[in-house]
Amino acid sequence: MAEEYLNYIGGKWVPAAGGQTFESRNPADSGDLVGVVAKGGREDVDRAVHAAAEAYPEWLLTPVPARADYVMRVGLLLEERKEELSRLMTREMGKTLRETRADVQEGIDFCFYMAGEGRRSYGHTMPSELPNKFSMTVRHPIGVVGLITPWNFPVAIPLWKIAPAVVAGCTSVFKPAEDTPVLATILVQLFDEVGLPPGVLNLVNGMGEEAGAALVEHPDVRGISFTGSLEVGRMIAERCARDMKRCSLELGSKNCLIVMPDADLDLAVESAAWGAFATAGQRCTATSRIVVHEEARQPFTERLLERVRSMKAGNGLDETVELAPVINAQQKERVLSYVGVGKDEGAVLLTGGEALTGPEYDRGNFIAPTVFGEMTPDMRIAQEEIFGPVTGIMAVKDIDQAIAYANSTQYGLSCAIYTHDITNVFKAIQQLEFGVVYVNAPTIGAEVQLPFGGMKNTGNGHREAGPQALDEFTEWKAVSVDFSGKVQKAQGIQ
């Protein structure tokens, strides 16, 4: 009998108000039932928001270092239970053990980093134009926030939102993806275990169109932090705009790796393979486009195909597996439909492009790693986010054309360039329209001390991680103390 997991509202573990549940199953093995989870809806969200609102006044007055201490203690628990959580993550969302261990480690790193921000919650002091007047800025929490997260990083991304919300002084309602509810529940259990006061963090599992929509629309929620698709992000932005509600969006991407003639091809090939097929391409920073100088295209392509064809697909609990399944059957069909689109558009299928079959694959959502050649920037497979193990190669004549191809989509999250030419490096840094730029490194590999986010339709200008993470959850307050003993008027008014 699978374990049942409840929602967490006001410091108590409770079933869904409607009594409904849903299942979480292993994408590598549909026969593996990971857990049965409370299916929350509008009523559950309302209860959770009220619990957060009740907890907010006292949490606001809690010293920032004391808030941050809870985050530090969660990081320590994650460190103790890293292997256990990594194995559970592989079962629930499919990616390989080396990747799930990295996911948990990123959560640990960010907890420790954000705990440090609790003693660095800096404002600024600045001179007043008037005598005997002191001016400064301080951060103020925005209040109750809704946190809506995806399934592909079920520990790291929730902590990118929960940790700064806690440190900032916000209280929150966490609505995780319905594909990874068990990991989300266990993560919240850790905050409960370290004694986070009731109502500061609440959990409602459920479907996006029910629980997620109710959270976005709730009048007592002052901010939404969302990571997911562009389509859903647009709907959230529209609703938040009508309600004058803070909204932070991390949305789609179409990342690019540029290979110039002077590149170390072995490094570029390994980076392209890792960037395109880690997590079965289900990363917001996945290398879904490869732009190669025509002088390097043939040797690069030959080496890449050799590397990709050597990848072992299978259950991520097998330490020798490199290619994991996609998250569910619906996503599998979506990715395969894009393979058909690419063929119809005239791209040349160089390898992969089909569902994997056989006893080890038949109960899972496996797709062979897929590489297209002769891709052009106007093709749908070069413009639309596929979110699966599919990439394509485009040839260019020079660095200027490479940058133009890289910039040719509506997205702008991560771009990498492989070159040792200093002119190429600085042209790329200056002209690429991406929030994250790597030189001689893969498109994937965010570090917690750096701001993470994209340009154009990848988001709405906010950044997660780094010290900028607190900007999502705080307002700047300008404070002036006049000790002159008289009414002083600014701008020279006498």
Catalytic (active-site) positions = 250, 284
Give how far Cα 45 sits from Cα of 6, 206, 213, 235, 333, Å.
14, 10, 10, 19, 32
CA 138 vs CA 123, 129, 414, 464: distances in Å: 5, 19, 32, 20
Residue 362 to residue 215: CA distance in whole angstroms? 37
Which residue is listed with tokens 């390994």?
270
- The pair of structure tokens assigned to 235 is 């709907």
d(CA 442, CA 469): 23
Query: Hey, how many other C-beta atoms are within 10 angstroms of the C-beta on 357?
Result: 10
Which helix (H) or strand (E) segment is 137 a member of?
A: strand 133-141
- Collapse the DSSP code of 202 into the 3-class scheme (helix H, G, I; strand E, B; otherwise coil) and give the result: strand
Candidates 198, 199, 195, 201; CA nearest to 176 is 201
Nearest-angstrom CA–CA distance, 448 and 116: 12
What is d(CA 58, CA 161) in angstroms, rounded to the nearest whole number? 21
Question: How much of the chain is in helix, strand and coil states, percent to nearest 5?
Answer: 40, 25, 35
By the 10 Å C-beta count (0-12 exposed, 13-18 middle, 19+ buried), 439 is classed as middle
Q: Which residues are CB-neighbours of 474 under 8 A, at least 6 positions away?
A: 139, 140, 141, 142, 168, 169
Q: Measuring CA to CA, which residue among 48, 79, 346 is closest to residue 201?
A: 48
4 φ/ψ angles, rounded to the nearest 5 degrees: -100, 140
Who contacts 418 (Cβ-Cβ below 8 Å, separation ≥6)? 257, 258, 259, 260, 263, 264, 267, 268, 271, 440
| Torsions phi, psi for 261 (to 5 deg) | -60, -30
Q: What are φ and ψ of residue 214, in 5° steps?
A: -65, -35
